[in-house]
Amino acid sequence: MWNRTKTAFGYALLVLGAIGVVLPIIPGIPFLIAAVAVLGSDHPLIRRWKQRVNRRMKKDPISRR
C-alpha cells in the first residue's frame, strides 16, 4: 500500500510541476524536483528520463561546462 501511495504522490507532484511550468502562479521546478525525489530512480519513468539525460550529456560535452 505504501508503494502505491508514494507513486500517486509522486505523480501528483509531477502534475503540479507541469502546471507550474505553464502558469506563473505556481513554482514548477521545486515540484518537479520533489517528484523525482519521491518517485526515486527505481521508478520506470524516472529511469527513462535519467537515461535520456545521460545520453544527451554524452552527445554534447560542451554543455557540461
Give the model's pLDDT for residue 62.
62
Give the model's pLDDT for residue 65.
53
Stated pTM of the model? 0.67
Give the model's pLDDT for residue 64.
53
Beta-strand (E) ranges in the chain?
A: none
Give the model's pLDDT for residue 28.
87
Binning pLDDT at 50, 70 and 90, where does residue 46 land?
confident
Q: Domain-by-domain residue ranges, the chain?
A: 2-64
Grouping H, G, I as helix, E, B as strand and the rest as coil, residue 44 is helix
Give the model's pLDDT for residue 36.
86
